[in-house]
Amino acid sequence: MKIGFIGLGNMGSPMAANLAAAGHEVIGFDPAGVRAEGVGTAQSAAEAIKGADVALTMLPSGTILRDVATDIIPAMDPGAVFIDCSTVEVDTARDLAEVCGAAGLFSLDAPVSGGTAGATSGTLTFMVGGPEQAFEKARPLLEIMGARAIHCGPAGAGQAAKICNNMILGATMIATCEAFALADKLGLEQQAMFDVVSTSSGSSWSMNTYCPAPGVGPASPADNGYEPGFAADLMLKDLRLALGAAERVDAAVPLGRAARDLYARFIDEGGTGRDFSAMLPYLRAAGFSPI
């Protein structure tokens, strides 16, 4: 396929490179001038998608996505597929699908899980919303960039799945960090804590796969000074998306709200640029009084 790829940041660049390495013709554009290995370079987003079978975006916000969509949709050929892999508002995904449909295009919202490591290794999980026909056309590309592609339902369903998943992740990481901080002050060895919880009812992805305590469990950002695999700033963005969606549909999310508020405070107090699991040293330094 011919693919126009817009947004060659930490996630987009390796994703585009994997598509090119698989033999697809990939033309990329990023306003920062970033390039990806094996990927051609365009001078604008509209130029990147000219004549493309698929336009693929990986962008930092819904506002930027709407601006890019305004530029590229008029330049896309009828029948082409617009795949957005950004994490944005559910309503933005649904609005984009409506505009694409009116222009004779297919649209998929396909946010990802797996972070930069998954983008590089081609092991991302895609949560996809949109028509079945478009999903089947896009599946070969998604399977190059990821290990799993799950069709979640109509337009917006992929974004809904992503924000629900990351709301769980934010809350469970905080709980995991709280437990390690408490264990430390009770004199419980970190390794013993991990050995018990990772095989007991408290086990979770945050504990078993992405343990926030350095030197315990599989290698994680905690073992690299909390350099981001998934930045705390991005976790806060996703929690804010989840809370915004919950407010619009009148859903009760008290733990999601608490997680959002705590990550906001963490970032305000120096957490910017650190991995979201750096919540552990932040909580270790805190006392019993509410923070």
Given this model, what pLDDT does residue 115 score? 85
Q: Is the pLDDT of residue 127 over 80?
A: yes
CATH of span 2-154: 3.40.50.720
Which residues make Cβ contacts (< 8 Å) with residue 86, sequence separation at least 6?
Answer: 7, 57, 58, 59, 60, 61, 62, 65, 111
- pLDDT average, residue stretch 268-273: 95
Q: What type of residue is 19?
A: L
Q: Is the pLDDT of residue 169 over 80?
A: yes
237 is catalytic: no
pLDDT score recorded for residue 289: 73
pLDDT at 246: 97
Is the pLDDT at 113 greater than 80? The verdict is: yes
Mean pLDDT of 179-203: 97
Q: What is the DSSP letter of 130?
A: S
Over residues 98-107, mean pLDDT: 97
CA distance 240 to 89: 10
Ranges in the chain annotated CATH 3.40.50.720: 2-154
User: Residue 290: pLDDT above 80?
Assistant: no
Q: Are strands 124-129 and 112-113 parallel, antiparallel or unpaired?
A: antiparallel
How is domain 160-285 classified at the architecture level of CATH? Answer: Orthogonal Bundle (1.10)
Q: d(Cα 105, Cα 83) in Å, to the nearest integer?
A: 11
What mean pLDDT is predicted for residues 170-185?
97
The rounded mean pLDDT for the chain is 96
pLDDT of residue 274: 97
pLDDT at 116: 86
The answer to whether residue 117 scores a pLDDT higher than 90 is: no
Question: Would you place residue 200 in the very low, low, confident or very high pLDDT band (cuts 50, 70, 90)?
Answer: very high
User: What's the CA gap between 154 and 128, in Å, rounded?
Assistant: 8
Per the residue annotation, which of 50, 162, 185, 237 is the catalytic one? Answer: 162
- The 10s digit of each residue's pLDDT in 49-76 is 999 999 999 999 999 999 999 999 999 9
Give residues with Cβ within 8 angstroms of 147, minimum separation 6.
114, 118, 122, 123, 124, 125
8 A C-beta contact, residue 87 and residue 159: yes
> pLDDT tier at 256 (50, 70, 90 boundaries)?
very high
Domain with CATH 1.10.1040.10 in the chain: 160-285
Predicted pLDDT of residue 287: 86
